[in-house]
Structure 1
């Protein structure tokens, strides 16, 4: 296997290939590994080939490679390596990481269907699920909707008696048991993660009726969040005026609001006074329309001579003097403050965000990169209300967030005052998604301090690249949801390189699981389910005759031409399937 690029995703990909026993060669692709990465490559015995991409690919033996995984952090380098790899080895299996959608679609036309993957799109669903709390994870297998859900055991017993045909993936209590048998005993309060159809979950205390299948992530496909963004854009012309008015009101500072309230009060009082006290030359009183009209004339100092206080009673003329003086002052102050608001940088921010003091039940997303945009689309598709807090006011993704209709606030997430301004006390979840581990940890700790007693009930998801650091942060600081984009995306690249069609990844507590589809070849023909690893599970078996066996029994045997849908911790799954996937 040839891996081009040795960034975070590349290193994690090499690590998993090495652990699965696959011979791997690394091509630098313009990215020199750091001291830690270089040490790990040496420790694993992985050969590293430096040099220009073309020469390095040839030296790495691309013509004899089973597959090439192209995962540099730079899209230009990735595109160059992918095109060279396809030219040098037209038949080699190729998997490419590209973040730019347009480049990805064009490149897929050269490298082949399902060969281009986007790390942000792969990692975002796990973050969204963590933000929304423990909830059913739907996935489509062989045209049927299956659901992964976690249920708390309400009585002791064995899994077979408690959950019937639902396939157990993990039991978490005093410890964690991965893919236990159906005769495994559970105690009251143990969390049992199971997979099955919505019909199989009927009668159990979990609502899976609203679960929708998670589509396979393929570059060029339009996500649900993007579809909603398109609808928002279509409706933008009809709602823009209302949005601006709401924005101006939300952005207005206290002096402006007070001035406006006083002016409206003077206006209302004057209408009533004129309606009741003004007497026309014919002895009649003003109508309501006349009273409103004359009040606007007087405050605006644009009288046309059609009404006059000259012949009115003394008290009304004195009142008119005060109304004119107060009205002119209030109008001048109002226009001054309104002009200041319109020309300030605050309005530029607020028109895109409908600022936030009144927001309730929102999800705060800190850091707006490629992963952050993916998280926004996922949250919108799930019906959540996201809010972005971004430090860099020139971030190129801000326009996209505003196009999605997501409020955006510019500020430092480590500042308590900024966190208060985004109404953190009313947020239902926080996702810290910047590209700097230290900033993420610092922001997460600031959020923890501000949440106070709500810390245990509000999911706070941290993006941390380094695996050891993420484990230390979870254990040392008490964070429950620490996610690594590299760890979430690498199984997709490894699985695709090995020929496994990865359908999804998700977490059970702190253990990442993978669901994949495997075409049964000659090497698996006749193998019984009970001969597989105890830490993996075959969820369904699609036979050549079109029938679907779910869940297959332990004595069920694979037949060449079948399609097996397997789930388990991705390292176990890749180690188990690697010798059979790599068959000629």
Structure 2
């Protein structure tokens, strides 16, 4: 039996997201108990759990939850990879610990919506939906990122310093989040009196009015739509452009049929064509009409088709012709019927096969320019497609598995799909990689992603520095090695992007959004100010966090931007931004902000 404990966090599932969640909870000084389904974790994971002295309970969900002390837990995080296991565990956890904060990972949106009715609003999170926006932003470049705080829309944007000066003089009330200049190291959440050189890239947050006040108006990019079947105005524009530039015409289909036809079909069609041509010449020269004249070329063509097709309208007949011509007609009808039957059978097989669809798709894509290639169509890939369409981009899918269950959804969205291997240079050429504006490699295999990324880099050649190539990676050490060793600028881990949401929800931080500033992940959250922060001034918080706004409980107003001497009051809602490790430090058990 496990020793009695209370106020701890129970994490169910020790996959990629579960391990990252445990890691961040442990780093924040939170007491954690891991529950899994009995499968042995990865050796490295098991070693680290032992090193951190985090207990692990295996067994049936109900028994394991009880042994983990779920009744006394402050929060339960349910993050197994299987939706069925997650649903069962979440329902049991809600029944056993109705007062604990509960956050659940579910990939199926319909299941997630139904489960949220039982477990509570905002308790169900989708890893794909959480991580897809970051991939979209990387593909489309630094774009204004909207975040809603206290009923107001704030925007995160990266601006260029027009001249040398302090951030206060250059950007007024816009809150600085990061500065990237000539120095290799970024300055995170600098003070407003921090001086920057001309041309420095400064990431700031503020309202649209504040951006307009400094002469830098922005138009925020809307959130990714998640409603099934919804298509934004940007998606409609992209669809229209695609139809205009790459519509599969009749000529395209005919070329495709010739390209995809296999040898038996080509041989059959060739023999039938030879029989037809021979029959036209034989009938033109040998057939004698009742008036003694010969057939015209049109009559010969017509009667050849009529005979091979065995339709026999009665306008021509071999009854009164020479014996040799009647014998020839017997052979022509017999051979024509056999060849036509075989031809139609092979042609039907080709038309109903997926190869014709793949080839038509490739020919459509061959005419496209400025498209975004998405390699690997999983749950994250679908989220990225929806985000790209919402932003008005033109995505193209490259998927290895022709039986992938998400292909129907991609086609429903009107996205061209090509089946093939992303490491094959011929396949990359067929999807017009050289004219693409970005590539997102999102398969579930790290090694495949690295191999595909290197093949793409090799094919892009001189365009490599200008084309964003986003790699999805699970292993953190490998992702860092790939970034440094192969100069990939956009390596994204879905587990690393999603874990802060689960940790924040478990500790009482209402996560509102995540985004990257270069390679550093930032998080925006709403924090209910408790007694531990009552009376604490802004300047006493970590230098790497930024309080953007305060919603005063007494006055019911939104105060922004707060000043250094502004103090928290119990019951307020604080809207904070910063690297997620710094924000989680605000939720440490001792309630003290990190220094």
1:410-432, Cα deviation, whole Å (9 max, x unpaired): 00000000000111011110000
Q: Which moved more, 1:102-111 or 1:125-134?
A: 102-111
How has the CA–CA distance of structure 1 residues 53 and 434 changed in structure 2, closer, same or farther, with 3 Å as cutoff?
same
How has the CA–CA distance of structure 1 residues 573 and 338 changed in structure 2, closer, same or farther, with 3 Å as cutoff?
same
CA distance in 1, matches of 2:525, 2:204: 16
How has the CA–CA distance of structure 1 residues 580 and 419 changed in structure 2, closer, same or farther, with 3 Å as cutoff?
same
1:187 equivalent to 2:197? Answer: yes
Partner of 2:125: 117
1:496-541, Cα deviation, whole Å (9 max, x unpaired): 1111110001111111100001122333222211111111001111
Question: What is the CA RMSD across the aligned residues, in angstroms?
Answer: 3.3
CA distance in 1, matches of 2:169, 2:232: 46
**Could you tell me whether the CA contact under 8 Å between 2:143 and 2:221 is conserved in 1?**
no
Return the match for 1:573 from 570, 576, 583: 583
Q: Normalising by the residue count of structure 1, what TM-score does the alignment of the two structures yield? A: 0.80
How is 1:156-171 mapped onto 2 (pairs within 5 angstroms)?
156-171=164-179
CA distance in 2, matches of 1:427, 1:482: 19
Aligned-partner SS, 1:356: helix
Partner of 2:467: 458
CA distance in 2, matches of 1:225, 1:362: 23
CA distance in 2, matches of 1:130, 1:469: 20
Aligned-partner SS, 2:65: helix
1:564 equivalent to 2:574? Answer: yes
**Could you tell me whether the CA contact under 8 Å between 1:512 and 1:569 is conserved in 2?**
yes
Return the match for 2:549 from 540, 551, 562: 540
CA distance in 2, matches of 1:202, 1:300: 75
**Could you tell me whether the CA contact under 8 Å between 2:17 and 2:499 is conserved in 1?**
yes
1:411 equivalent to 2:416? Answer: no
**Could you tell me whether the CA contact under 8 Å between 2:260 and 2:356 is conserved in 1?**
no
Partner of 2:23: 15
1:201 equivalent to 2:204? Answer: no
Which has more radius of gyration? 2
How is 1:150-161 mapped onto 2 (pairs within 5 angstroms)?
150-161=158-169
Which consecutive unaligned segments of at least 5 residues does structure 2 have? 1-8, 267-297, 316-339
Partner of 1:444: 453
Partner of 1:281: none
1:551 equivalent to 2:576? Answer: no
**Could you tell me whether the CA contact under 8 Å between 2:362 and 2:430 is conserved in 1?**
no
Partner of 2:295: none
Return the match for 2:231 from 228, 231, 249: 228
**Could you tell me whether the CA contact under 8 Å between 2:260 and 2:355 is conserved in 1?**
no
Number of residues of Structure 1 aligned to a counterpart in Structure 2: 510
Partner of 1:24: 32
Aligned-partner SS, 1:138: strand
How has the CA–CA distance of structure 1 residues 363 and 581 changed in structure 2, closer, same or farther, with 3 Å as cutoff?
farther
How many Å apart are 1:442 and its aligned residue? 0.3
How many Å apart are 1:109 and its aligned residue? 1.7
Return the match for 1:80 from 84, 88, 93: 88
Q: Which moved more, 1:425-434 or 1:76-85?
A: 76-85
CA distance in 1, matches of 2:591, 2:250: 60
Partner of 2:367: 358
**Could you tell me whether the CA contact under 8 Å between 1:379 and 1:386 is conserved in 2?**
yes
Partner of 1:474: 483
Return the match for 2:186 from 173, 176, 190: 176
Partner of 1:40: 48
Aligned-partner SS, 1:365: strand
Which consecutive unaligned segments of at least 5 residues does structure 1 have? 216-221, 260-292, 307-331
Q: Normalising by the residue count of structure 2, what TM-score does the alignment of the two structures yield? A: 0.79
1:58 equivalent to 2:58? Answer: no
**Could you tell me whether the CA contact under 8 Å between 2:172 and 2:214 is conserved in 1?**
no
Return the match for 2:525 from 516, 539, 555: 516
Return the match for 1:149 from 154, 157, 162: 157
